[in-house]
Structure 1
């Protein structure tokens, strides 16, 4: 394909992706007051009543300006639309990239798309499970004489940023696996840097988590460390297979007068005295 043809196809793919995102945004806009807002405000409403000004059983967030409610609904609907339409716009991205990939690269790409989707979903679920405890801890730190009435834009932005932070953080070990598969990052380098990786993971979790409390930080750092260790062990297996494959290819590419690398290892028979030598 010519450059113009590539750009035309890219334009068409982007247009289709934006169409699906717009369609998902419409669905999110309708879903907003049919369960989505209740789902997002759940952790705040589960906080003990004495920590909220509206602690009489009626849990409500506050909007301080006239257009705040409309903009808030559009923002939440757009983010929900991106998530709901992800399979469709990811397919458009995949369809644009696929013709330029080799067969093994296509196989890896399908696996990485599936793994990244599962890891992001797992990260959001983990964030949701830790959100209530982290939120309650932050509100308690203000003291027993303080009660809260949170504004809707700030609270919902906080919830969404926490979900996205957890989801993206679990993608980092997958990047290490990808770099190893393409030959950029070796198992030896990962093994030597294991302690630094674990230390920097804890530092990363401390800065990225919006709550910055120890409970939420450990809830993010713990799974990341386990996934990084899994990535290191995956790199070990991949490098072993790569070395074995290289040895076999080197054997087949030998000349008639060259020694085989497979015979380079010493044999126990070499140390034994030959009967003919006596």
Structure 2
């Protein structure tokens, strides 16, 4: 066999070995990901079973609470009216919420019970799901990247919890009160299906938790070089308009105070995102200077 043929044969064997190694590495990663997903699913299932066991408390004290005039948010709103009667309108104090919520399907209430338990399990399991995500991506990061992202799970979980609480105690009761009491004509009685009510509560609550992940998204985009603080500062006026539009949509009331209460945390999140992006850019510039010095 000639030298050229031998060389071609060896090159072919090497390339085949590299491709096989890559395939093995790919399937190894898939297997590791499967294990992380199974652990996360087990924890979510455990929380779901716990939510099913405490379903009476979840339904009466959590899900149906924004429909009750004695809900914490409504009581605080009335106290604000009492404290600032010349500034805040009396309409801001909510003392009556009248609406009939019905079920029109034979298995509707059981389905709602199962769905609400699963959603509760997912929400309670978010910190652990994020922890499993961190464990999966951690080996692929450099030592410096691991240190800079070491608080990812705690920070993302805290933002999600704050978002859920803000959505549940601020956005949800204001929207529910407006939608339940709003009438086009006094001849039309508001009667809502329970799945519509549950969907509204969950959408507003979980949606706000997801929106509060904005600093985490900006952190990742800044690390990738997609987002810069200069761009975010230039886009601040457009971001302000977008935030006000979002606040107006999620709080469909004519009261400007309600919209501003919702918009304020979003403005703060945007400014926090600018600070995070600026900090990442600063570290990148310092690392480049150190690299060129050496």
TM-score with structure 1 setting the length: 0.76
Deviations 1:65-110 (A, max 9, x none): 2100110000000001112223333333222222112122223433
- In structure 2, the CA distance between the partners of 1:214 and 1:27, relative to structure 1 (3 Å rule), is farther
Give 1:121 shift. Answer: 1.1
How far did residue 222 of structure 1 move? Answer: 2.0
Q: By how many angstroms is 1:178 displaced?
A: 2.7
When residues 240 and 87 of structure 1 are mapped into structure 2, their CA distance, relative to the original with a 3 A threshold, is closer
1:188 aligns with 2:230: yes
* 1:176 has 2:222 as partner: no
State TM-score, norm by structure 2. 0.72
The worse-fitting range, judged by mean Cα deviation, of 232-241 and 110-119 is 232-241
Q: CA deviation at 1:40?
A: 1.1
Q: Which residue of 2 aligns with 1:223?
A: 265
Given the alignment, which residue of 143, 165, 184 partners 1:125? 165
Instruction: Find the counterpart in structure 2 of residue 52 from structure 1.
Output: 98
RMSD between aligned alpha carbons? 2.7
> Mind listing any 5+ residue stretches in structure 1 that lack a counterpart?
55-60, 253-278
CA offsets, 1:18-42, max 9 Å, x none? Answer: 2222222111111111344421101
The residue number in structure 1 matching 2:156 is 116
Within 5 A, what are the aligned runs for 1:1-278?
2-46=25-69, 51-52=97-98, 61-130=101-170, 131-142=172-183, 145=186, 148-207=190-249, 209=250, 211-213=251-253, 217-252=259-294
Whether the 8 Å contact between 2:215 and 2:269 is mirrored in structure 1 is yes
> Is the partner of 1:150 in helix, strand or coil?
strand
Which 10-residue stretch deviates more, 135-144 or 39-48? 135-144
Runs of 4+ in 1 over 6 A off after TM superposition: none
| Contact 2:178–2:252, Cα closer than 8 Å, also in 1 | no
The residue aligned with 1:265 is none
Q: 1:159 to 1:142 in 2, by over 3 A?
A: same
CA distance in 2, matches of 1:7, 1:245: 33
> For 1:45 and 1:23, how far apart are their aligned partners in 2?
30
